[in-house]
Amino acid sequence: MQAQSLRPCQTRDRKCAIVACSETNGSPVGWCSGFSKQAFSKTRKHPPMQGFSTTLLKKTLLASAVMSSLMLSSGMAAAADAPGKVLSEKYGLPWPAVIAHRGASFDAPEETIPAYTLARDLGADYLEMDIQRTKDGVLIALHDDVLERTTNIAEVFPTRVKDPVSTFTLAELKQLDAGSWFNKAYPDRARDSYTGLQILTLDEVIDIAEGGANKPGLYIETKVPNKFPGVEADLKKVLTQRGWLAQRPAAAAGHVNVAHMPGRVVLQTFEKQSLELLQKEMPKVPKVMLLWIGEGSIEPKSSVAFKDSGAKDKATYYASQEVKSPEEFQKWIDWAKAHGAIGTGPSSQLAKGGDQSYMDLVKPWMNNLTHEKGMVIHAYTVDAADDFKRISNDGVDGFFTNRTAELLKFYGRPAKESIHTILKRNGY
């Protein structure tokens, strides 16, 4: 690992007068201890020691902060590490975590072969997926519970456009084109090779995770689990059969090795009942409770629905939504931890809005509370460098992202090859 160039931060850690930042991304690389803002303010209110100039005092404090950060980065001051880093190590998770949301889904159709192979080869820590079940009992990776948005179902099964995924057999789903929609939606990223891509089974995603030099982990959501009774047990069966609930071989030096770590699989859900069932089936596997404001989740301060709010779009509406109270937020954190979760997946409000900008559930006080409860924080779904920086500074431990390459670059782990090179090498 190359040494990082350090400089004083423009924004300071909440508990520290001065921190040092990496020149590569501007994020704090260490937390200083034993020198609070209060103590710093006192030094400014009183004259400096005789023979010790104010300028020299500032330089000394800055040098001390930089040295502290260097010590932290080398593991020499573990007691002063970021709380999320300590917790991630406890649970066997990478820190900070790069979670490829439905694969590298900015550059390829979500939850398809090119999206997952690209994420793997770029260096993502986890391949993230949504699990549903076909009519004939096969687990597949698919986000929407209907097929209209991401397939050509209107052409293949015109009378079944609104039918749920659970009413189709795997053979029927394999007839659908799950790639052409992307070319139409994003012509600047379109590739002829995306035409005709298929919906993947969980087994096929695992094949991809195992198939490269990098060995990423699996980050699996039980999607609309109430529609798939017993899906948690089905998931355990597949993971057991594929050897993912036991120790796995290590990757070669210099490659992603998350599949070899205790946190090789992370299970996630929005649903309380599903979390309980996942804990019952796989008590030793790390679990994350996904957070939202609204029906079935954290109670909002206002009960006004979007259609009655007068907001110009959903991003504006979501930005106005707040938790009812700190006690309500803590109630959810406490419940999640008591039922097996080791972390939370909160929504994020993005600087430029957009259809991925949701409620701000990564406020500093929320992150502090979550860490104090012994839980890590993986925020969704963030793609821009300014959002990476701002939300990281507020204390999160990783991101779900569609732009794997951008997050890796932000964390100082740039991919060794370009997106184009990887896609071309993999046949796309």
Q: pLDDT tens-digit profile of 297-321?
A: 999 999 899 999 999 888 889 988 9
* Helix and strand numbers, DSSP H then E, in the chain: 17, 12
Q: 129-154 burial string, b = 16+ CB within 10 Å, else e?
A: bbbbbbeeebbbbbbbebbeebbbbe
Q: How confident is the model at residue 414 (pLDDT cuts 50, 70, 90)?
A: very high
Residues making up the chain, counted from first to last:
428
CA dihedral 20, 21, 27, 30 (to 10 degrees): -30
Q: Compute CA distances 264 → 233, 257, 406, whole Å.
A: 18, 9, 23
* Nearest to 213, CA basis, from 400, 410, 415: 415
Question: What pTM does this model have?
Answer: 0.82
d(CA 16, CA 31): 7
**pLDDT of the residue at 314:** 86
Strands (DSSP E) found in 232-300: 265-269, 287-290
* Nearest to 136, CA basis, from 177, 178, 171: 171
Using only C-alpha atoms, the chain has a radius of gyration, in whole angstroms, of: 23
d(CA 24, CA 257): 23
Q: pLDDT tens-digit profile of 183-198?
A: 999 999 999 999 999 9
Average pLDDT over residues 341-345: 98
**pLDDT of the residue at 48:** 35
Q: pLDDT tens-digit profile of 145-174?
A: 999 999 999 999 999 999 999 999 999 999
Structure tokens at 104: 């590298």
The dihedral built from the CA positions of residue 323, 328, 334 and 338, taken in this order, carries a sign that is: negative
**What does the mean pLDDT of the chain come to?**
86
Q: How confident is the model at residue 65 (pLDDT cuts 50, 70, 90)?
A: very low
**pLDDT of the residue at 138:** 98
Domains and CATH numbers, the chain: 83-144+201-426 (3.20.20.190)
d(CA 171, CA 406): 36
